[in-house]
Amino acid sequence: MIARTTAKPVQAPVIALDVMGGDAGLADVLAAADMAAERYPKLRFRLHGPQDRIAAELARLPRLAAAAETVHTDEVVLGTDKPSQALRRSRTSSMGMAIQSVKDGAAHAAVSAGNTGALMALSLVSLRTMKGIDRPALAALLPTLKNDSVVLDLGANTECDTENLVQFSIMGAAFARTVLGLDRPRVALLNIGEEELKGTEEIKEAAALLRSVDLPMVFEGFVEGDKIGQGNVDVIVTDGFSGNIALKTAEGTGKLVTGLLAQAFRSSWLTQLGYFLSRGALRALRAHLDPNAHNGAVLLGLNGLVVKSHGSANIRGLANAIGVAHDLVVDNVSERIAQDLANFSARRPHTPLESTVAEA
Q: Which residues bind its own copies (CB under 8 A)?
A: 82, 117, 143-145, 155, 158-159, 190, 192-193, 197, 199-200, 224-230, 238, 240-242, 244-261, 263-265, 267-268, 270-271, 273-282, 284-285, 288-289
Q: Which is nearer to its own copies, 59 or 358 (CB)?
A: 358
Q: Which is nearer to its own copies, 49 or 240 (CB)?
A: 240
Q: Which is nearer to its own copies, 132 or 265 (CB)?
A: 265
- Which residues are CB-contacts of 267 (< 8 A; sequence separation ≥ 6)? none
Q: Which is nearer to its own copies, 280 or 352 (CB)?
A: 280
CB 322 within 8 A of CB 32: yes
CB 236 within 8 A of CB 223: yes
Which is nearest to 288 in space by CA: 143, 149, 181, 179? 143
CB of 45 to its own copies, least distance (A): 31
Q: Which is nearer to its own copies, 275 or 348 (CB)?
A: 275
Q: Which is nearer to its own copies, 268 or 355 (CB)?
A: 268
Q: Which is nearer to its own copies, 66 or 287 (CB)?
A: 287
Q: Which is nearer to its own copies, 13 or 136 (CB)?
A: 136
In the 3-class helix/strand/coil scheme, how is the chain assigned residue by residue? CCCCCCCCCCCCCEEEEECCCCCCCHHHHHHHHHHHHHHCCCCEEEEEECHHHHHHHHCCCHHHHHHEEEEECCECCCCCCCHHHHHHCCCCEHHHHHHHHHHCCCCCEEEECCCHHHHHHHHHHHHCECCCCCCCEEEEEECCCCCCEEEECCCCCCCCCHHHHHHHHHHHHHHHHHHCCCCCCEEEEECCCCCCCCCCHHHHHHHHHHHHCCCCCEEEEEECHHHHHHCCCCEEECCHHHHHHHHHHHHHHHHHHHHHHHHHHHCCHHHHHHHHHHHHHHHHHHHHHCHHHHCCEEEECECCEEEECCCCCCHHHHHHHHHHHHHHHHCCHHHHHHHHHHHHHHHCCCCCHHHHHHHC
CB of 290 to its own copies, least distance (A): 12
CB of 197 to its own copies, least distance (A): 7
CB of 297 to its own copies, least distance (A): 14
CB of 207 to its own copies, least distance (A): 15
CB of 70 to its own copies, least distance (A): 33
CB of 355 to its own copies, least distance (A): 21
Nearest-angstrom CA–CA distance, 304 and 214: 26
CB of 170 to its own copies, least distance (A): 22
- Asked if residue 18 has a cis previous peptide bond (ω within 30° of 0), the answer is no
Q: Which is nearer to its own copies, 274 or 349 (CB)?
A: 274
Bridge partners of 111? 17, 307
Q: Which is nearer to its own copies, 7 or 125 (CB)?
A: 125
CB of 91 to its own copies, least distance (A): 24
CB of 266 to its own copies, least distance (A): 8
- The sign of the CA dihedral 167, 169, 174, 178 is positive
